[in-house]
Structure formats: C-alpha cells, structure tokens
Amino acid sequence: MRQQERTNSRIAELGSTMRVLRPYPHVFAFYDGRIEGKRAYSEERNWLDDGAYVLGISTYAIVEGAEALVYDTHISLAHARIIRETLSTAGVTKPRVVLSHWHTDHVAGNEVFKDCEIISNNLTAKALAEHRREFEEGGRDPAIKPLVMPNRTFDGELTLKVGGTTVELRHADIHSHDGTVMLLPSSGVLFAGDTLEDPITYVAEPDRLEKHLNDLERMSAWDFQRILPNHGAPEVIQSGGYDRRFIDATRRYVEKLLRCRQEPELAGQNLERFAGEALASGAIRYFAPYEAVHRRNVEAVTGRTGA
C-alpha cells in the first residue's frame, strides 16, 4: 500500500503522531494532525489527509471506571487501536461507541470495536448502508473495508449512563443531515462532532444550509458552557474547549456564505477577510489550511468554480 509514499518523510506513519489530551478528568481527546507540512496517507488528494489530518481531527471518550463511551472511531484502524489500548490501560473493560455522523473520518476505525455496542441514530445507519459499497470498494481512497455498521440505533434522542454520568445524545441537522451531538449535563460540555468546526464549518450539504441554520439556533438554546468539536485547535481542546460564541460565529459564517450567491465581491474574499470579525473576537482561530475549505464552500454554495 503506497510503499513509496510511506518512505517520504512528509508522510507520517498512521497513528504515530496521535496525541492523547485530557480536557477533563473523565474525558480523553484523541487528537491527530494539524502538523505543518505533514500528511498521514498520501501526497495525492484524499479524504484522510485533506478532510481530516491536515485540518486536525479529534475523537473523544468519556470514561468512568470500567465503562467508556467512545465518540467516533477516528481515521484509520491504527488510530482506533490506539484508542482501544489507551482505554484498556485506563481500566476500561466495556467500551461502547457513538457515531457523530456517517462521514469517513468518523467511522473508519469501527472494525476495532466490532465486538462492542456501536450506537448511531437511524439516519446515520441508513446513510452508512447506502454508502457501504462505495466505502468498501474504493469509491473512497483509502477504502474502509469492512465497514462495520452500527448495531444499536435510536430516533432523535437517547440518554445513556457511563458509570454514574448521564450522557444525552441529540440529533442535530447541521453539517450533515444525520448529526448526533453529545451533551454532558453534569460538566456543561457539548461534544459537537462536525456541527461546529474551528475556524469554519465544512459545507457538505450546500442545499440544506437553511436547515442547518435552524438547528444551530435550536442548539444555542441548550444549557452548556464548553464545546469540544471533532475538528479544532489542540490547545483549545486541551484546555476544556470553546465557549458558546463558537455557535454564533458558525451561524454568521453560514449566513454570509449564503449571501455570496447575490454578492460576487463577497465570494471573492479569502477566509481571513471573510471571517475577520469572528477571528478578531477570538471566538474562532485562523488556520491557513482552512482557506481551501472556504474556497470549496463558496464554490459549493454559489455553484461557481473560482479562479
């Protein structure tokens, strides 16, 4: 598998640069990527590097005693094995998995947890079933084979216990139609999946942005203080997560993106200028690789390809 590229120093061995962060005593963050000049799979454009590793990706586990709830299985089997081993070393004998949504970089490690409960909402299970062939047979590079499917599904909301800690799973139609976010009421923490991404959301469903705005509004009424996203800055995640301004920054970005359809001048702005206000306020942080995400977002919304 891509031996030549593996010997290139720009390509890190899968899992070798993963950092285990502890934003809260009972929360593990498995963070990888956002390392200048580094890729983890290939020099060519691919979902693992360009959709996750280059931008930075974090998955999480809530741990109490022998129980753990793993929020997404990361970008490769190597990553998932590190997660499972880390939890095992911490005394976990009974991990369960929750999937935030159906996208590749959140489910690629499922196979490592095939003997465990893998929970998702019905929409995620349906989307994975629809994309299974594509994931397994090379419609995506790297392929995810076998794609291990969720074995417990729910509709809308589900409340779980991890030891004595209550965890609320809630459907959120933001970024993808099938999002599941996790609320930890005792700590006031929201695990946001890809519904909030620092500095900007990745537009995967351009025709549904109005619906995403509705659910951003709904989410902003919930009671929590800190936000842990799956794509964000490691130092912020390590220190307990983003504050609630993160939601408003995302909402404003999406609203402005929609205006690009009528305002070509806006569509031509780079991310630094486009999101200047939110960046200056400290609600989100500039990260240069997101210029490419922004360019792609503008193209997705306007239907036009830029220069």
Contact residues: Zn ion, CB under 5 A: 103, 194
237 in Cβ contact with 29 (< 8 Å): yes
Q: Least distance to Zn ion from the beta carbon of 231, Å?
A: 8
Shortest distance, position 183 Cβ to Zn ion, whole Å: 19
Q: How far is the CB of 137 from Zn ion (least distance, A)?
A: 21
To the nearest whole angstrom, how small is the minimum distance from the Cβ of residue 253 to Zn ion?
A: 16
Q: Could you tell me the smallest distance in angstroms from the CB atom of residue 9 to Zn ion? A: 29
Residue 50 or 67: the one with the smaller Cβ distance to Zn ion is: 50
Looking at beta carbons only, is 194 or 198 nearer to Zn ion?
A: 194
Q: Which is nearer to Zn ion, 11 or 202 (CB)?
A: 202
Please tell me the distance from the alpha carbon of residue 38 to that of residue 17, in angstroms, as a whole number: 10
Closest contact distance (angstroms) between CB of 176 and Zn ion is 6
Question: In the complex with Zn ion, which residue's Cβ is closer, 50 or 194?
Answer: 194
State the burial class of residue 89 (Cβ atoms within 10 Å of its Cβ: 0-12, 13-18, 19+).
exposed
Of the pair 204, 266, the CB lying nearest Zn ion is at 204
User: Which CB, 102 or 224, lies closer to Zn ion?
Assistant: 102
**Measured from the CB atom, is 30 or 67 closer to Zn ion?**
30
As a three-state string, the secondary structure of 175-236 is: CEEEEEEEEECCCCEEEEECCCCCCCCCCCCHHHHHHHHHHHHHHCCCCCCEEEECCCCHHH
CA distance 38 to 87: 27
Q: How far is the CB of 103 from Zn ion (least distance, A)?
A: 4
